[in-house]
Structure 1
Amino acid sequence: MDVPGWSGRDLEVISGLRHLGDTANPDAETRARIKDGILERLAEQERARPSRRRRILAEVLAAAVALAIALGGVGLLLSRNALPGDTLYGIKRAGESAELSLAFGDSAKAQKHLEFASNRLDELEALAGSDPGAYQATLTDFANEAKAGTAQLTQLATQGSGQQLDQLRTWSLDQRAKLAAAAVDAPAAARPEFTSSAELLDRIEARAQTLMARLSCFQITTGETDDLGAVPDSGSCGPPVDAITGQQPPVPLPAAPSSEPPPAQQTSTSTPVPTPSSTGPTAPLRPTTAVPAPSAVQPPVLAPTSPRLTPTTTPQLPWITLPPLLPGLPGVGIG
């Protein structure tokens, strides 16, 4: 076939390309498999991509959280002066719990407990004749916070330098003044709670003073605890004998010898004293031998010696002479 402008070789190439395109065309099954794979990938992308409804819900929740944080901060600020029975008082107590959780270390937590206990007494002064139930609940919270702070401070003080005990004693004296001021306008129904709170402050002060007095002792506490923490020991400050290992109790030293000489022994014999004669001149006294005074140092005791053996002599036997056995030989002597 002749086509103007195309050579025979060009027409062969074009015919081969058409035939190759027909053979590369996929069949119906292959096209269906390719379509399913494409649709599956599109579905996966759609599931991974958040829908419009989900995006809106996430934005609403984020705004709600931000609003709650903002209102919480404002609520904490407004509830700082809230009193028992007020609407914002719960927010105030929740803020105190959050502060306690964020406190680092036992000492910081103990200080927070005492701070919250002091806040309860400040609230009592502002109640001014309110419902007795508010007084009772506030004093109960005060006792719980005071005991928790005291227990932690006494434990720390007996394990360290003990400086927390002085702080605890000062704190108890300050709270006693607040409690006395709040009791002036308190209702009569809340008097028992005021009395128990005053007794609690007395116990805290006494516990601090007793532990301070035993800080230099060998044993400060008994090792037991109660509602105020470490219980002070009531024994002696010195170490017990059984605590000193490897050392025996001291042995009493012997008494030093007396420097005074022993009393002189009296002898049974005495020198007769001559009596003057009435008829003649006095005879001269015979010289007497003076008895020497016993010495303070006793004479040395000689060690016993063995008696000497008397040498004995062995008696000699008599000399015996025997006659010669043969004539001409000398005789034999024995002895």
Structure 2
Amino acid sequence: MSRARERRERVLEHLTELHRLPLGGAPDPVFRERLRADLVSGRVSAEFPPDEPARFRHAHRRPARRGPLLSQLAAFGLSAAMMAASFVTYQAVPGDSLYPLKRAAESALVGLSTNDAARAERELRSAKTRAEEVVSLLGSSDGGPLVGKTLKDMEESTRAGVSRLRRAEPRSPKIKKFARHQKEVVGPMLRQLRRDQLAQAEGYLDYIEGLVAPG
């Protein structure tokens, strides 16, 4: 006898025994134990056997509707994760493990700019970000050694952006606006800097003062 036929015979046997019970009656302990043993051993299965006609198997199947929903949820979850990762990366400061990724993303955006004016604005935006990072480093207990390097990167981005913007848009008001912003950020940090860092920051302020001056 095939395994499928054996399963079918056992199911019919159990159903017959249950059918003989009076209404409200319960199966005897021997029957319950035998049924439990059959279920555990896999000799009784609720699935249709392989030799059952296909029309009966398909008739009892529910249409799979969860596929598109699960795909949408997965896509949403991936998008949310990417947004969260981008946010965390953007918040990184010098010394963080994600900081090199942040700088690489900034460089990529500068390189992908469509013209010199857009490239210059991205470089000036990077200079603003470096100034904000210096403020964060000064507020932490272990950020001191990285302050000098960040000040240097800030000045390099500033000079590159200003030079490029002057070529693309001579006498652009964006330069003075940028210089005023940087002065407001860098000025208050002077009293927290070490002597060598202080010289860097004061030299930077002298440079941007010249950008604000009339002329």
Normalized against structure 2, the TM-score is what? 0.56
Q: Which residue of 1 aligns with 2:175?
A: 168
Q: Which residue of 2 aligns with 1:110?
A: 120
Contact persistence 1:132–1:189 (CA under 8 A): no
Contact persistence 2:117–2:169 (CA under 8 A): no
More deviation, 194-203/85-94: 194-203
Q: Which residue of 2 aligns with 1:122?
A: 132
Q: By how many angstroms is 1:105 displaced? A: 0.8
Q: Which residue of 2 aligns with 1:134?
A: 146
Relative CO higher for 1 or 2, CA cutoff 8 Å, sep ≥ 6? 2
Q: Which residue of 1 aligns with 2:202?
A: 195
Tell me which protein shows more strand as a share of its residues. Answer: 1
Q: Which residue of 2 aligns with 1:149?
A: 161
Higher CA-based Rg: 1
Supply the distance in 1 between the matched residues of 2:191 and 2:114 (Cα, whole angstroms).
Answer: 38
Supply the distance in 2 between the matched residues of 1:157 and 1:107 (Cα, whole angstroms).
Answer: 7
Q: Which residue of 2 aligns with 1:183?
A: 190
Give the unaligned 5+ runs of structure 2.
1-79
Q: By how many angstroms is 1:198 displaced? A: 1.0
Q: Which amino acid aligns with 1:155?
A: R
Identity of aligned residues (%): 22
Question: Would you say how many aligned residue pairs link Structure 1 and Structure 2?
Answer: 135
The residue correspondences of 1:22-41 to structure 2 (distance < 5 A) are none
2:95 counterpart SS class? coil
Q: By how many angstroms is 1:125 displaced? A: 1.2
Q: Which amino acid aligns with 1:77?
A: F
Query: Which string of whole-angstrom CA distances, capped at 9 and with x for unpartnered residues, describes residues 24-79 of structure 1?
Result: xxxxxxxxxxxxxxxxxxxxxxxxxxxxxxxxxxxxxxxxxxxxxx9877543311
Q: By how many angstroms is 1:185 displaced? A: 2.7
Q: By how many angstroms is 1:97 displaced? A: 1.1
The residue correspondences of 1:261-280 to structure 2 (distance < 5 A) are none
Supply the distance in 1 between the matched residues of 2:156 and 2:190 (Cα, whole angstroms).
Answer: 19
Q: Which amino acid aligns with 1:198?
A: L
Query: Which string of whole-angstrom CA distances, capped at 9 and with x for unpartnered residues, describes residues 185-242 of structure 1?
Result: 3334411111111112123224xx32xxxxxxxxxxxxxxxxxxxxxxxxxxxxxxxx
Q: Which residue of 2 aligns with 1:93?
A: 103
Q: Which residue of 2 aligns with 1:204?
A: 211
- Structure 1 vs Structure 2 CA RMSD: 2.3
Q: Which amino acid aligns with 2:128?
A: S
Give the unaligned 5+ runs of structure 1.
1-69, 211-335
Tell me which protein shows more helix as a share of its residues. Answer: 2
Supply the distance in 1 between the matched residues of 2:157 and 2:102 (Cα, whole angstroms).
Answer: 15
| CA pair 75-91 structure 1, distance change in 2 beyond 3 A | farther
Query: Which string of whole-angstrom CA distances, capped at 9 and with x for unpartnered residues, describes residues 230-276 of structure 1?
Result: xxxxxxxxxxxxxxxxxxxxxxxxxxxxxxxxxxxxxxxxxxxxxxx
Q: Which amino acid aligns with 1:80?
A: Y
Supply the distance in 1 between the matched residues of 2:189 and 2:133 (Cα, whole angstroms).
Answer: 9
